[in-house]
Structure 1
Amino acid sequence: MRTDIAYVNRLGERVEFGGSEESLHYMEHELRDWEWSWRTGVAGRVTGFSRRPSKPREISFPVGIAAETASEGIGLRNRVELIGDVDVSAGEPGWLYVGDWYIRCWIVGCEPTDYWMDDRFAELELTLLAEQSGWVREVLSAFVPETGETEASGTDFPLDFPFEFARGRTSTTVYNSGTSPQDLLLRVYGPASDPEVSIGGNVYRVNVDVPAGYRLEVDSMAKTVRLIAPDGTWTDAYGSREPGAEGSGTYIFERIAPGASTVAWGNDFAFDLVRYDVRMACPWEEG
């Protein structure tokens, strides 16, 4: 069984518990506790369920430090207590991984115990704050433009031409094996002009220029459309989306329906399609 747990902040800095970091451990915690939220109607009857809790949920996550030297022990205390500060300052949650699955959360509290006896040892009870229940695994599909050199099928002309026959619109299929619609992240790499991707008949289009080195990200879970520069800074591109309400065929945050969906685009830019596989309980994984 996989036992590695790690926190990753918005800068990509990572602290691992119970894995390769032998001096940093975790104790009994609440990460695998789960429950559905529910709604009631007339006469108190249950009318539906939801992964989203009625209010943000606090999760207890105690960790322990058992370092070989006093210097390492002090360094690990500071590293654990500071790792989440940039996320709180930015108002955006970090990622708490259990194996390949994660929740988005902030580290909002720490209660140190048994820290005064020896600088090598300490226990820190962290408090995590999660707005949304459900564990996420990202399933990545990468798409690149296909040219006459990369596509073997087609007409074989007896004479050479001073140009290449590039494919126009190309397509493939992705499959949502779940029973409910699946959130997605579209990551378009520049250069691209007014990029457009069709998934399951819905068109995702943003009317912006994406320069080389930049990327455009459409995240249906976070409800964001961002143009991101090479240095990580971003500008809001939500206002440049193709208008359309949910189910209209041009909704920028349309989720992927269960079953097979055709993915098609103009074959003129590279992009990633990340599908969010969400489970209420954190799945158990083999080690």
Structure 2
Amino acid sequence: MSELTYTSGVTGQVFDLDSKLSWGAANALRSRHWEYTLEYRGMSSPVRKAREVSVNMTIEDVDELDALMQAADSDVLLRKPGTITALSESGGVWRQRAVIVESSPQSHYRAPDANIDLTVLLMDGVWRRRLDVQRLWADALQPGLDLDYPHDYPHDYMPTVRNATVVNPMPAPMPFEMVWFGPVSKPQLTLGGNRYELDMDIPSGGYVTISSVEGEKSIILTTENGDMSNVFSKGVRTGGENGGSYIFQPIPSGELAAQWNGFGIDLTIIEEASEPQWV
């Protein structure tokens, strides 16, 4: 990792952890751990849970240290985790919610080589980064999509064909963020055998943002004038995950044909990994 920051969940302060306060290589952030249940000849229920890691921080600015500790205490006390951001050498930005719950000075703060051991809780159990946005264009933005003769015939001259695909480049299903743009009534999108559906109308100039990230699932309507409202209940969840019509169904791996009823969609796949990339 070439850059590392901690952003307080309470104050919003961003602390550079490669400068006056430095976590160095912070190799513990790259550690990985799965919990599982052993069976007769195998395992079951693999899961990545929140966990503790230890990092050593060198100190060049005591005022900056005091500000970090004050913000970290507020994050714990008010139960609003901060965010660690790690920028890999290839430019990928990885994030995980975290809190600093313990510190142990290894020298006097004003010593030339002052340093302190920290215990950090990684709250999500995984690191996440946003992949490139994939766009499914609204019919109105695709000239020629609905060409037809000026008179009615038994069959259309050119039936509506969108021929769009989306790609999850990861080998496993991944969560996502989708933005659905109005106007559209009861919008639907089918990918990989699952139907993503909202039982509502999205007005002209409005859009709905759907997040399927574990612990952060949400469906928010934003109207043309910027008003926001929670429309979580409008997401169809028939049968739950893998039930065939689940609004938060992870995006399967590979290239997937998309079928939808003509509205605009921005899809961002959220890559999850046990550790940030090394490059």
Bin of the TM-score, shorter chain as denominator length: 0.7 to 0.9
2:20 is equivalent to residue 32 of structure 1 = no
* Structure 2 CA distance for partners of 1:206 and 1:170, relative to 1, 3 Å: same
Indicate which of 109, 113, 130 corresponds to 2:122: 130
SS of structure 1 residue aligned to 2:68:
helix
Q: CA deviation at 1:284?
A: 0.6
Q: Which residue of 1 is the match for residue 2 of structure 2?
A: 3
Deviations 1:206-243 (A, max 9, x none): 22455656643231433622326699997543322213
Q: Distance in 1 between matches of 2:185 and 2:71?
A: 37
**8 A Cα contact 1:223 1:253, kept in partner:** no
The aligned amino acid for 1:264 is Q
**8 A Cα contact 2:145 2:160, kept in partner:** no
Q: Which residue of 1 is the match for residue 258 of structure 2?
A: 263
SS of structure 1 residue aligned to 2:65:
helix
Q: CA deviation at 1:116?
A: 4.6
Q: Distance in 2 between matches of 1:267 and 1:10?
A: 39
SS of structure 2 residue aligned to 1:282:
coil
The aligned amino acid for 2:118 is L
| Aligned pairs (5 A) from 1:60-75 | 60-67=54-61, 73-74=62-63
TM-score by length of 2: 0.72
The aligned amino acid for 2:84 is L
**8 A Cα contact 2:206 2:221, kept in partner:** no
Indicate which of 222, 228, 243 corresponds to 2:237: 243
Q: Distance in 1 between matches of 2:69 and 2:227?
A: 25
Q: CA deviation at 1:109?
A: 1.6
RMSD: 3.9
The aligned amino acid for 2:6 is Y
2:103 is equivalent to residue 106 of structure 1 = no
* Structure 2 CA distance for partners of 1:66 and 1:280, relative to 1, 3 Å: same
The aligned amino acid for 1:117 is R
Structure 2 unaligned runs (5+)? Answer: 150-158
Q: Which residue of 2 is the match for residue 15 of structure 1?
A: 15
* Structure 2 CA distance for partners of 1:58 and 1:39, relative to 1, 3 Å: same
| Aligned pairs (5 A) from 1:46-195 | 46-48=42-44, 50-53=46-49, 56-67=50-61, 73-74=62-63, 76-84=64-72, 88=76, 91=79, 93-99=81-87, 100-111=92-103, 113=105, 114=107, 116-117=109-110, 123-143=115-135, 145-146=137-138, 151=143, 170=162, 172-189=164-181, 193-195=185-187
* Structure 2 CA distance for partners of 1:62 and 1:129, relative to 1, 3 Å: same
Q: Which residue of 1 is the match for residue 277 of structure 2?
A: 283
TM-score by length of 1: 0.71
SS of structure 1 residue aligned to 2:30:
coil
* Structure 2 CA distance for partners of 1:214 and 1:60, relative to 1, 3 Å: farther
Q: Which residue of 1 is the match for residue 154 of structure 2?
A: none
